[in-house]
Amino acid sequence: MAKIIPFKAVRPAEDKVSLVTCRNYDDYSQAELAAWLNFNPYSFLHVINPAYVHSQKISWDKRFKGVALKFQDFKRDSIFVTEEKPIFYLYEIKTKTNSFTGILAGTSVQDYKDNHIKKHEDTLQYRVELFKEYLHQTRFNTEPVLITYPDSIELNTWISLKKKNKPLYCFSTTTREKHTLWKIDTENEIEWLKEHFDAIPDLYIADGHHRSASADLLHDEDKHLGNPNLDHFLSFLIAESNVKIYEFNRVIRDLNQHSVEDFLKLLEEHFIIVSKQQELWKPTEKGEFGMYLNGSFYALFFKKSNQETSILENLDAQILYDYVLHPILGIDDLRNDERIDYIPGKQSITIIKEIIDEGAFEIGFTLFPIDVNEIKSIADANLIMPPKSTYIEPKFRSGLVVYEL
């Protein structure tokens, strides 16, 4: 059973929401960050970067304490307001190319422990512990875990009708996105949604494996405090068909001491290689890989063997690692090897060409994106995909809805 609960959110005052919310902190360049912090006193960036005003580097402990104090300042100054009672929210994000709609709710830590909320990515323990400490010190979270549920005609119909109501927020951002938020606050609506999700056997994490793991760790460490909010974590629940899954493409700094000619010969053992010269070619189906090397594009077609393979071995990201990155290019640790970097598939293939032509990298690979059924199959089999196998949208606005702990 997938248990969800309404929660008593903290959120921006209606007249300030477009000024308060921000993208993920790491998405900003230093110039952008300085501009927002200098000229927008309401930006949530002031909360998550409290040391900026002092222009100094501080320890994580001091930073987290500063975040907590700044968050309380925003509440005191009525930049943030607290909802009168626990509710759900319906949230729509419209970008230039896609539209996403989901439900903001608390999801159960126990469901996570019991694998009713399923995972497909590994986590780094130091990141889990660091974000757990952030939650422990600040006592709030505004970054929901993105979780998919099976498509439902009944729920889709209800969402369409709900969107006809007057929203709580409707605002646009400088990235030309439109954000709309509706309250789900009647007892009938709340109970109906809880019952609907109660009938779903399993949910699947699309994005946010570290955040959910941190919530689990915090629950175990602080459960003696008797805080019921620790039993759940903030999630954005979205239909499987409504997520957008991009690939992560790879660029590598060198050919591991191989010449171009020798490298191409080594590839021929497992791939059919077709020169595309200057054509900006990308894979059109599974088992195909694009490559940019020495000023030219190539199409690589994997030579499938008759040997039966597992779900994991059949993933394109795993194939590339097993037959190219590891044995030929000497990439062992996909997370930490400084010779490899990753480019989200939503970015143009010309980005890969440009950074290789500039000389920082020598070779690049493009992949075909994974679909949601592959993610579910990996999760159902309790397997873990290679790092950076997916880049998934939507991405949430920080400071829009806050779950207090």
Reduced 3-state DSSP string for the chain: CCCEECECCEEECCCCHHHHCECCHHHCCHHHHHHHHHHCCCCCHHHHCCCHHHCCCCCHHHHHHHHHHHHHHHHHCCCEEECCCCEEEEEEEECCCCEEEEEEEEEEHHHHHCCCEECCCCCCHHHHHHHHHHHHHHCEECCCEEEEECCCHHHHHHHHHHCCCCCCEEEECCCCCEEEEEEECCHHHHHHHHHHHHCCCCEEEEECHHHHHHHHHHHHHHHHHCCHHHHEEEEEEEEHHHCEEECEEEEECCCCCCCHHHHHHHHCCCEEEEEEECCCCCCCCCCEEEEEECCEEEEEEECCCCCCCCCCCCCHHHHHHHHHHCCCCCCCCCCCCCCEEEEECCCCHHHHHHHHHCCCCCEEEECCCCCHHHHHHHHHCCCCCCCCCCEEECCCCECCCEEEC
- pTM summary value: 0.92
d(C-alpha 311, C-alpha 377), whole Å: 7
Neighbours of 389 (CB within 10 A): 25
| Residues 141-178: tens digit of each pLDDT | 999 999 999 999 999 999 999 999 999 999 999 989 99
Residues of the chain with pLDDT under 70: 51-56, 306
Tell me how many degrees the CA angle 267-272-277 measures, rounded to the nearest 5: 90
Phi then psi for residue 72, to 5 deg, are: -65, -35
**Token pair listed for 329:** 């290019």
Q: Residue 308: its pLDDT value, please?
A: 72
CA distances from residue 395 to 178, 179, 188, 268 in whole angstroms, order as listed: 13, 12, 30, 39
Beta carbons of 122 and 312 less than 8 angstroms apart: no
Phi then psi for residue 48, to 5 deg, are: -85, -10
Residue 202 CB burial class (10 angstroms; 0-12, 13-18, ≥19) = middle
Beta carbons of 308 and 322 less than 8 angstroms apart: no
User: What is the CA 101 to chain-centroid distance, rounded?
Assistant: 16
- Identify residue 44 by its one-letter amino acid code: F
> CB under 8 Å, gap of 24 or more: what pairs does 18-22 form?
18/171, 18/172, 18/173, 19/43, 20/44, 20/74, 20/79, 20/80, 20/399, 20/400, 21/173, 21/179, 21/397, 21/398, 21/399, 21/400, 22/397, 22/398, 22/399
